[in-house]
Chain A
Amino acid sequence: GQQVMQIPQYQHVQEGEDFTTYCNSSTTLSNIQWYKQRPGGHPVFLIQLVKSGEVKKQKRLTFQFGEAKKNSSLHITATQTTDVGTYFCAGRSNTGKLIFGQGTTLQVKP
């Protein structure tokens, strides 16, 4: 079946370092979404990318959708302790189903 693979599973960084998580789909996606789940919390929508090659920024977060619409990345510049959590990508297939990646758990050491 259709899969969305996300790496790395875990990342520990020193505060101030950059962080990137990558998402790859086995098939072309109609769009991709990113969610953040704080420890003990629920997933919260961050952003949606729709167009091939699209890049969007939210303050220190940069989201990118690949040209082939099969991969995506989230890059955080100069991490802060408030960035701690698990980041999930979720790809929407052409059938409309939303498929979540495994998530990347980010730990930030102050």
Chain B
Amino acid sequence: SAVISQKPSRDICQRGTSLTIQCQVDSQVTMMFWYRQQPGQSLTLIATANQGSEATYESGFVIDKFPISRPNLTFSTLTVSNMSPEDSSIYLCSVDSGGNIQYFGAGTRLSVL
């Protein structure tokens, strides 16, 4: 299993500003994932973060809006840039541990005013 620390746990931000979410894993992992979960909805994959290379973004998500860093095998950040109220959501990081099982962080609950 993997233990994931994600912060902040929640934030309230003004539109036009940016927020960086951090994700720390207790073991080295190759792939880290960033998801968005809007209230009452399913999980939508934003991007896959691989150490040493640029993140791979899913359709509908772009690097300018959601820049991702992956400086080492235990850490990643997701920035939500130039926020608008539509970005209000829960953002979750996860890792793919042994056996293709995904472990999730506790999530960041973002409200944009």
B97 — nearest CB in chain A belongs to which residue?
A45
- By a CB distance below 8 angstroms, the chain A residues around B92 are 42-43
Q: Is the interface of A mostly helix, strand, loop or mixed?
A: strand
Cα–Cα distance between A103 and B44 once the two chains are bound (Å): 12
A88 with B101, Cβ < 8 A, contacts A42-B92, A42-B107 known: no
| Contacting pair A102 B42 (CB below 8 A) | yes
- By a CB distance below 8 angstroms, the chain B residues around A33 are 100-102
- By a CB distance below 8 angstroms, the chain A residues around B107 are 42
Q: Is the interface of B mostly helix, strand, loop or mixed?
A: loop
- By a CB distance below 8 angstroms, the chain A residues around B103 are 45
The answer to the question of A48 belonging to the interface, with a C-beta cut-off of 8 Å to chain B, is: yes
Cα–Cα distance between A101 and B43 once the two chains are bound (Å): 8
- By a CB distance below 8 angstroms, the chain B residues around A68 are none
The answer to the question of A108 belonging to the interface, with a C-beta cut-off of 8 Å to chain B, is: no
- By a CB distance below 8 angstroms, the chain A residues around B99 are 48
A98 with B42, Cβ < 8 A, contacts A42-B92, A42-B107 known: no
- By a CB distance below 8 angstroms, the chain B residues around A43 are 43, 92, 102, 104
Q: Could you tell me which residues of chain B, from 12 to 66, have a CB within 8 Å of some CB in chain A? A: 40-45, 59
The answer to the question of A63 belonging to the interface, with a C-beta cut-off of 8 Å to chain B, is: no
The answer to the question of A100 belonging to the interface, with a C-beta cut-off of 8 Å to chain B, is: yes
- By a CB distance below 8 angstroms, the chain A residues around B100 are 31, 33, 48, 92, 98
Q: Quick one: which of B42, B101, B105 contacts A103, CB cutoff 8 A?
A: B42
Q: Using CB atoms and an 8 Å cutoff, list the residues of chain B in contact with chain A.
A: 40-45, 59, 92, 99-107
Give 21 CB contacts A-B under 8 Å.
A31-B100, A33-B101, A33-B102, A35-B102, A41-B106, A42-B92, A42-B105, A42-B106, A42-B107, A43-B92, A43-B102, A44-B104, A45-B101, A45-B103, A48-B101, A92-B100, A98-B45, A101-B42, A102-B41, A102-B42, A105-B40
